[in-house]
Structure 1
Amino acid sequence: MDALAGLLDGPRARGAFLMRMVMEPPWSVRIEDRAPICLMSMTAGEAWIVRDGDSGDGGGDGDAVHIGPGDIVIVRGPDPYTVAHAPDLAPFARIGPGGVCTTLRGEALSTSMDLGIRTWGNAPNGSATMLVGTYLMEGEISGRLLGALPPVLRLSSREWNRSLMPLLDDEISRDEPGQSVVLDRLLDLLLIAVLRSWFSRPGADAPAWYRAMGDPVVGPALRLVQNSPAHPWTVASLAAKCGVSRAGFARRFTELVGEPPMAYLTGWRLALAADRLRETDATVEAIARQVGYSGAFALSAAFKRVRGISPQEHRTLGGGGTAATGVNAGGR
C-alpha cells in the first residue's frame, strides 16, 4: 500500500454524487453543501471557482481559479465557494447541505433544472458542460494527504491523463443495475489519477512522507508499516528489513518523513483505528488488535494521549453517518 492507496483504502466512495451540469451563460451557483471534496472537470466551455476571500466575490485578495475544456479541479471543503461563468457574477442558485438546490431566497430549483438522469442545469444544450463528483471522506488517513493539498487544486488538460473522462462522461447518465457502484469506483480512480499527476509535477511541493515513498530505504519501511500495522514493529526490525543499521535507519527516516519511525507508526495505527471506529461496528477490543495494540485498554490510552478523547467518544462524535452531497438532480 502506497500513499495514494492508503488515501482510499479506508472510507472510499460509497454513494458519492456524480452529475453532469449543463449551463448557458450567464450562470453562477453558490456551493454550501459542506462536502469535504469535490472534483470538477469541464468538457465544454469554461468556468471559475471562487472561494470566499478570493478576488471576484466581493472581498479578499486571493485568485479565482479558471478552468477550461479538459481541465480538472479538486476543491477542498467544507468552506463554501462559488462556481460561475465569470468570477464576478452573483449566484442565482445555492446548493445547501444534503444537496438541496434552491434560489437564494430558498425556493426549490431541483425539479425545474432537472435535465435527465444525473444531468442538471439551466439549458439542455448549454455551451458549458461540467462533470461533477462530490463525496464525503471523513477518514483520518485521507486527512494526512488532503491536508497537504491547496484549497483548490487545478490541473490543465495537458498536465494529467484524461483517459477516464470519456468513460465517466458515458457512464454518468446511465441508469443500469449496479450503476452507483460503477460511478463510485470511477470517482475513486479519477481522484487517484489527479493526485498522482499533481504530486509528480516538476517542482511539486509534495508532503515529506509522500516523497519518502520513493526512497530505497524509507519507502519500503513505510509500505511495511502501512501494509501490516498489527505487526510488532520496532526501529530495529524495520531497519533489518530494509538492510541498514538501526541508527542509520532512524536518522534517515526522521530526516525524510519529518518524524521518528515509532511516532509515524503510532499515528498510522491511530488513524486506522479512527477510521474503523467511525466506519464499522467492531468493538474497541477488536479494532485495537487489528491495528497493533494488545487490547482495548492499550488503544484507549494511546488514543486519549494523542487525540485527547477516548475511542468511544470519537465514535460517538463521529456519528458514523454519511451526509448526502451534490445536487438533487436526476438519478441519485
Structure 2
Amino acid sequence: MDPLSDVITVMRAGEPRSARVRWHAPWGQRFMTVPGSAGFQVVLQGSCWLVPREGEPVPLNTGDVLFLPHGSGHGLADSPGSVLAEPACDPRDGARFEERHAAPAVGLDRGDDPAATVTLCGAYQLDRGRTHPLLDSLPEIVHLPARVGHRPELRAAVDLLGAEIGRERPGADALIPALLDTLLLYILRAWFDERAESGAGWPAALADPAVTSALSAVHREPARPWTVETLGAVAGLSRAAFARRFTALTGQPPLSYLTWWRMTTAARLLRESDAPLSAVAARVGYRSEFAFATAFKREFGVAPGRHRRLTDARAAGR
C-alpha cells in the first residue's frame, strides 16, 4: 500500500454516492457544506459557473473537474448572476434526488436537450477523526480544467462513470463504487503531480523517492519495529538527513507518523473485523495487548474495546 491508495481504502466510511444531473437554463443550485466528507463535480456536457462561498465566480467547461476535499459549500449556475436555489442535492443520500432510488448511484438524465448542462456530482463520507494529513493539506476547492490530450486516464475515468450512472445495468452496484474510487485517485494524483515541483508539503513528499520509500514501507509493514535509522536506510539516507527531509515535507517526524498510521490501521481493524485485541495489537506492531491499549487510549481517548463497541453501536444506528 501507499499513502495515496490508503486515502481511499482507510479514510472512507460508507459507500460513496453520485448522481448525473441535467440542468436547463436558467438554473442555479447551492450545495451544502458537509463536514467529514469529500465531494466532486464534473461537467460532462455544456458549461456553467462555479460560485464559491468566497471569491469571484469561475467559468467551467465540458471536462472540467472540481474536487472539494473538505466538503465545502459551493454553488453551480448557468451564469454568475443566477439565483441559487437552497441545498436540495446531497449525494450522500440518493433519496434526496429521487425517492425510488436507494442504490449508490442516481440518474436524473432525462430528455435530450443539447443545450442542457450535464454534471456528475458525488461525495465520500470520511472518518472525521482520522483524515489523512495528505487530504488536510488540500485547498477548499481543487479545479482541474480540461485540456485536450492532458490527463487521459482522468478523462477515461470520467467517461466510464458518466456512462454507467443511471443505466441500472447488472453489476452497477459493484462497478460504480470502484469507478468512484478510481476517479478520486486520478484527481488526487493529477493535483499532486502538478504541484510536485513546489518543493514543499505532501506534493513534494510524494514526489521525493526517499520519503516515498519510507512511507511505503510504513504502510506496507506497520508492525515492523521501525526506527528512524532503519527507515533512513530504506530511504537511502543517514538518520539525521532522513529525519530532516521527512519532517520538512510531511509536517511531522517519522516516528510520529508511524504511530499515527499504526493507530489509524488499528481503528480500521477494530471497525471492520472481529479479530481479538491481541491480534489487532500484533498487526500494528505491539507485542503486548496492554501496551497497545495504552497507546490507543492516548490517541483516541478510549480503550480499544470500548472504541469497537461504540463503532458497532453507531453502525447499528444508521
| Short-chain TM bin | 0.7 to 0.9
> How far did residue 170 of structure 1 move?
1.9
Q: Which amino acid in the other structure matches residue 107 of structure 2?
A: T
Q: Match of 1:32?
A: 32
Cα-to-partner distance string for 1:238-257 (whole Å, 9 max, x where unaligned): 23334443333333333333
Q: Which sits farther off after the overlay, 312-321 or 259-268? A: 312-321
Equivalent in 134, 138, 163 of residue 127 of structure 2: 138
Find out whether 1:305 has 2:298 as its counterpart. yes
8 A Cα contact 2:108 2:166, kept in partner: no
Q: Which sits farther off after the overlay, 228-237 or 157-166? A: 157-166
Q: 1:223–1:10: structure 2 CA closer, same or farther, 3 Å change rule? A: same
Equivalent in 67, 72, 78 of residue 60 of structure 2: 67
Larger helix percent:
2
Structure 1 gap ranges (5+): 55-61, 102-108, 325-332
Identity between Structure 1 and Structure 2 (%) = 34
Q: Match of 2:205?
A: 212
- Equivalent-residue separation in structure 1 for 2:252 and 2:176 (angstroms): 37
8 A Cα contact 1:44 1:129, kept in partner: yes
- Equivalent-residue separation in structure 1 for 2:167 and 2:61 (angstroms): 25
Q: 1:206–1:70: structure 2 CA closer, same or farther, 3 Å change rule? A: farther
Equivalent in 90, 110, 123 of residue 84 of structure 2: 90
TM-score normalized by the length of structure 2? 0.81
Cα-to-partner distance string for 1:101-126 (whole Å, 9 max, x where unaligned): 3xxxxxxx73699xxx8322686536
Q: Which amino acid in the other structure matches residue 47 of structure 1?
A: C
CA RMSD of aligned residues (A): 3.3
- Equivalent-residue separation in structure 1 for 2:257 and 2:110 (angstroms): 49
Counterpart mapping for 1:174-193 below 5 A: 174-193=167-186
- Equivalent-residue separation in structure 2 for 1:219 and 1:228 (angstroms): 14
Q: Which amino acid in the other structure matches residue 289 of structure 1?
A: A
- Equivalent-residue separation in structure 2 for 1:211 and 1:36 (angstroms): 25
**Greater relative CO, 1 or 2 (CA 8 Å, sep 6+):** 1
Q: Match of 1:17?
A: 17
Find out whether 1:271 has 2:264 as its counterpart. yes
Counterpart mapping for 1:212-251 below 5 A: 212-251=205-244
Q: Match of 1:110?
A: 98
Q: Match of 1:3?
A: 3
Q: Match of 1:329?
A: none
- Equivalent-residue separation in structure 1 for 2:25 and 2:56 (angstroms): 21
- Equivalent-residue separation in structure 2 for 1:149 and 1:307 (angstroms): 24
Cα-to-partner distance string for 1:245-270 (whole Å, 9 max, x where unaligned): 33333333333333222112111111
Count, aligned residues: 306
Cα-to-partner distance string for 1:130-154 (whole Å, 9 max, x where unaligned): 1223232327665322211112111
Cα-to-partner distance string for 1:55-109 (whole Å, 9 max, x where unaligned): xxxxxxx3344322110011234454333323441306623573443xxxxxxx7
TM-score normalized by the length of structure 1? 0.78
8 A Cα contact 2:31 2:86, kept in partner: no
8 A Cα contact 1:213 1:220, kept in partner: no
> How far did residue 272 of structure 1 move?
1.6
Q: Match of 1:290?
A: 283
Q: Match of 2:145?
A: 156
- Equivalent-residue separation in structure 2 for 1:284 and 1:87 (angstroms): 55
Q: Which amino acid in the other structure matches residue 199 of structure 1?
A: F
8 A Cα contact 1:25 1:85, kept in partner: yes
- Equivalent-residue separation in structure 2 for 1:185 and 1:30 (angstroms): 28
- Equivalent-residue separation in structure 1 for 2:49 and 2:276 (angstroms): 46
Q: 1:147–1:92: structure 2 CA closer, same or farther, 3 Å change rule? A: closer
